[in-house]
Structure 1
């Protein structure tokens, strides 16, 4: 590709399409799988929980190592594209094996689950890190970087909405088929889309050495951006962890769950062009700040909700979903800017992407690790109807994330003049 030219929307869309199946597969892996193995296959919750925890920890900490490998692959884009097809095949095989295990003893079933999870998580991590690193290596000016991120994350939101329908309503068989078809479409689009120039060699001896995977941590801009991303990510992941409890116990409207979630993610997808224009006018950091302000103003309203407040909560879902668009587009755009500013373009996109994916997964773990014990300590249990317990649920679901979001806003505003973020 020619760096001086801005990629068209059609070219950016071909790059971004792979984001749909990668987002699509995450929902059944994290939401549907535990219930499937516990309720359908009869695996005890204690054993299943320990197995999922172990495999997810292994998955999170392997991402930086995958990033180092991907940096080597990206020096020859054609070779990297060949591995995309391998990823698509392994992800489909692992996912299908995971949801269709052979009927056997409980111990054999657990081993099958563990091995299938390792294959599935490994392929998913490889695809996610490669896709992010590929977009970062395409690089370009702010308008190109933000456009690439917008198409990738926009397709990702569509994948989440599609998964909520297919995985819940149609079952694992149709889910595996849709996954295969969308992976083939996404991989084919990436092959026919824009690709970075081949790297004739790494620009610095450090980047070529054995410590490539730690290279991002040596620059203050990346450390600041990642700390901000983690803090803001906990603020977003905590409500996601507790949303089903809030809808069922506080609002007492479980039949509206699909409507609430669909409105949230659809508004996020629709907001992407708006935030793209904001970044072109204000820059990525100020745009992210604006999204944080809107998120706090809209989400603080949950503190006043009670049983039956369906329409007010639907409005909150729509407004906070619109604010989510800034979280989806601005941080990743800033990540590419940091990489370019630090002089690591065409050297360490995989390393940066690996640590970014690690932080994304750590957000989910931190949110669950903070929110669930806090609720238990405050006296809430699922199905609880006591007023004080429901107040505790509302505080942890609504107030605590707003505090984290405000802290993120202060940091982002203080650091908005970082040259590396523009």
Structure 2
């Protein structure tokens, strides 16, 4: 059945608060706990890695559980419950009442609870979108609305905390408390809109009950997508983890952090319609490959920048941001096309989410790696060269490997290599 743009927009709204929670957890938590709360860089890196591993391994089972809830018409209650848990845990993450070694314990527990609640919401949300339309154009439109709202949430997450600190002279803890309230209100709005205004999850009555993540991995066409997705996601996760460190200690422009991140994600939102059009004309595989090419030829120059290079970095943010839309919109569309019609999608998105979070866990190891190389946050000249190349060079190498693996995807998806 053909859906109107308003229906897809109602579905997409939840992407905003989910992104508002994800970006600070993955980008701002490392520098917040090391620079503001005094946790050591190495310990923070290992805590992030351990918490992300826990988060990663649970996702396939969460996907199966979400499928079970959808079959029993109990998904709505689970989403409201997960929302309450996420709101409380997210606020607690920024308002740590402890110090020393207990600070690391607090960080680990808070992260695991945030990750779990967020996973329930996000996996259900992605699976819901996979059943909103029967064709590539409809799937791309649903994915586009989800990622547009997601980028709006990312822009809020990039700029609102910094604005709260600078405009109101609040402490970082007070600013994040206000941010947590804004997030909570938008999350309640997003979940309510999804449940009561968006098109219903089109759950087939003859869907088999025993679809598991093992069955998902037996799908040859899905397996051919997972490796390029993993490599590409890792190429995005590493600079996401290191962005604020790079801006503060390589560019030496920490006051520009909000502008850099905001412009990057704004460019991603602006470029989103272009990738949607290219996907409809060239196919999602070819369009995604073009996005990777744009990312590599622009982002590699970040490794050569130094103190005061704010304007060259702004150009890189715009060009790399334009390529971001391809990474956000097109891989979920490809996965949705490969899920058999009679099989529940949440188990597939559990595996999908596992790989994405595994890349975030691995990117957390960049912090102890940089510590070994002599980098210390805020210490001028200590390991800055290693930070620059880990931030700008390594992701481009991973992008090239992902592009190479995409050649193996064309035949299995029925795409034509261009």
User: Quick check: TM above 0.5?
Assistant: yes
Find the counterpart in structure 1 of residue 237 from structure 2. 237
Find the counterpart in structure 2 of residue 166 from structure 1. 160
How many Å separate the matches in 1 of 2:95 and 2:248? 30
Q: Quote the offset at 1:31 in angstroms.
A: 4.1
Q: Quote the offset at 1:97 in angstroms.
A: 3.8
How many Å separate the matches in 1 of 2:115 and 2:308? 39
Find the counterpart in structure 2 of residue 275 from structure 1. 275
CA contact (8 A) 2:224 2:408 kept: no
Q: Does 2:201 match 1:196?
A: yes
Matches within 5 A, 1:376-415: 376=371, 380-382=375-377, 383-385=379-381, 389-415=383-409
How many Å separate the matches in 2 of 1:164 and 1:104? 26
CA contact (8 A) 2:162 2:258 kept: no
Ranges in structure 1 where 5+ consecutive residues have no aligned partner: none
Find the counterpart in structure 1 of residue 78 from structure 2. 83
CA contact (8 A) 1:239 1:398 kept: yes
Matches within 5 A, 1:18-417: 18-33=14-29, 51-76=47-72, 78-100=73-95, 115-170=109-164, 171-191=175-195, 192-203=197-208, 208-209=209-210, 212-339=212-339, 343=340, 345-369=341-365, 371-372=366-367, 375-376=370-371, 380-382=375-377, 383-385=379-381, 389-417=383-411
Q: Secondary structure at the match of 1:417?
A: helix
How many Å separate the matches in 1 of 2:329 and 2:118? 21
- Residue 411 and residue 114 in structure 1: after superposition, are their counterparts in 2 closer, same or farther (change >3 A)? closer
How many Å separate the matches in 2 of 1:161 and 1:47? 29
Q: Secondary structure at the match of 2:131?
A: helix
Q: Secondary structure at the match of 1:418?
A: helix
Instruction: Single out whichever of 42-51 and 83-92 deviates more from structure 2.
Output: 42-51
Q: Quote the offset at 1:217 in angstroms.
A: 0.5
How many Å separate the matches in 1 of 2:40 and 2:253? 29
Q: Secondary structure at the match of 1:416?
A: helix
- Residue 189 and residue 310 in structure 1: after superposition, are their counterparts in 2 closer, same or farther (change >3 A)? same
How many Å separate the matches in 2 of 1:168 and 1:230? 31
Ranges in structure 2 where 5+ consecutive residues have no aligned partner: 165-174
Q: Quote the offset at 1:116 in angstroms.
A: 4.2
**TM-score scaled to structure 2, two decimals?**
0.87
How many Å separate the matches in 2 of 1:223 and 1:406? 19
CA contact (8 A) 1:338 1:421 kept: no
Q: Quote the offset at 1:198 in angstroms.
A: 4.0
Instruction: Single out whichever of 189-198 and 374-383 deviates more from structure 2.
Output: 374-383
Cα distance per residue 1:336-387 (max 9 Å; x no partner): 0111xxx2x3523111111111111111222333x4455455555443427x
Residue from 6, 9, 27 that aligns with 2:5? 9
| Count of residue pairs the alignment pairs up | 404
How many Å separate the matches in 2 of 1:296 and 1:110? 36
**TM-score scaled to structure 1, two decimals?**
0.86
